[in-house]
Structure 1
Amino acid sequence: MNTATPIVSPFSGSQTIAELLSQPNSVTADLVQAVTALQQMVTTLVTENAALHQQILDLTTQVAKFLSAPALQPTAHVRPEPNESPLPTQATPPTGAKGAMESNWATVTSKHKPIRPLTSPRRIAANARGFTPVTGPQGFDHLYLHRSCRMDRAEVCRRLRRFGIDSSRILDVSFPARNIIGLLLHVQYIPIVRDLLEKATVSPIANFDPTDPTNLGDPKYASHSLEHRTALALQLHRERCIQTLKYLRPHIAVPIAHAFYQCGWILASDHATFTTSGPYVDRDKFPSDTESSSLQPETEMDLDGAFSSRPTSRASHYSNN
Structure 2
Amino acid sequence: MSTLLPSSVMQGMSPDLASFLGNMQAQFMSLQQRTNELESLAATNARLTAQLVNVEKLIADLRSQLASQGNCQITTNASTSSAPTTPKEPGTEASTWATTAAAAHNSVVVPTALSVCKTPRPPSVRQVAASARMFAIPTGPKGYQYVYIPRSRRLTHREVRNSLKTLGVDTGRILDINFPAKDVVGILVHNQYAEKFQTTLTTVAIEILDAFDPLDPKNIADPKYKSLSDSELEEVAAELHSDRCMKALKYLRPHVAVPVGHFFCDQGWISKEDIPVHSVSGPGAGIHDFQSPSRRTSVAMSE
Shorter-chain TM range is 0.5 to 0.7
Shift of 1:226: 1.1
**Pairwise CA distance, 1:118:** 5.4
The code of the aligned residue for 2:147 comes to: L
TM-score, normalisation: structure 1: 0.49
- Alignment partner of 1:267 out of 268, 271, 284: 271
> Aligned partners of 2:130 and 2:202: how far apart in 1?
25
* Equivalent residue for 1:188, pick from 187, 192, 198: 192
Q: Secondary structure at the match of 2:131?
A: helix
Following TM superposition, the consecutive aligned residue runs of length 4 or more in structure 1 with deviations greater than 4 angstroms are none
Structure that is richer in strand per residue: 2
Residues 145, 203 of structure 1: 8 Å contact kept: yes
Q: Runs of 5+ in structure 2 lacking a partner?
A: 1-119, 281-288, 294-303
Which amino acid is the alignment partner of residue 244 of structure 2? R
Structure 1 CA distance for aligned equivalents of residues 122 and 238 of structure 2: 43
Q: Distance in 1 between matches of 2:121 and 2:264?
A: 36
Q: Quick one: which of 127, 140, 147 aligns to 1:143?
A: 147
Matched with 2:161 is: 157
Q: Distance in 2 between matches of 1:277 and 1:228?
A: 36
Are the aligned partners of 1:138 and 1:188 in contact in 2 as well (CA < 8 Å)? yes
Match for 1:224 among 225, 228, 232? Answer: 228
Structure 2 residue matching 1:261: 3-state secondary structure:
helix
Identify if the C-alpha distance between structure 1 residues 268 and 277 changes in structure 2 by more than 3 Å, giving closer, same or farther. Answer: farther
Residue aligned with 2:147, SS = strand
CA distance in 1, matches of 2:154, 2:227: 28
Deviation at 1:281, TM superposition (A): 8.2
RMSD of Structure 2 on Structure 1 (CA): 2.0
Which structure has the larger Rg?
Answer: 1
Query: Pairwise mapping of residues 1-321 of structure 1 onto structure 2 (< 5 A)?
Result: 119-271=123-275, 274-275=276-277, 277-278=279-280, 279-280=289-290
Distance 2:157 2:215 in 1: 21
Q: 1:196 to 1:189 in 2, by over 3 A?
A: same
Tell me the equivalent position of 2:42: none
- The structural deviation recorded for 1:117 is 8.5
Contact 1:174 1:183 in 2 (8 A): yes
Aligned residues with identical type, % of pairs: 40
| Structure 1 residue 234 displacement after superposition | 0.7
Instruction: Tell me how far apart the structure 1 counterparts of residues 291 and 179 of structure 2 sit (CA, whole Å).
Output: 28
Instruction: Using structure 2 for the length normalisation, give the TM-score.
Output: 0.52
Greater RCO (Cα-Cα under 8 Å, separation 6 or more): 1
Q: CA deviation at 1:276?
A: 5.3
Q: What is the SS of the residue equivalent to 1:133?
A: coil
When the two structures are aligned, how many residues end up with a matched partner? Answer: 166
Q: Distance in 1 between matches of 2:182 and 2:291?
A: 35
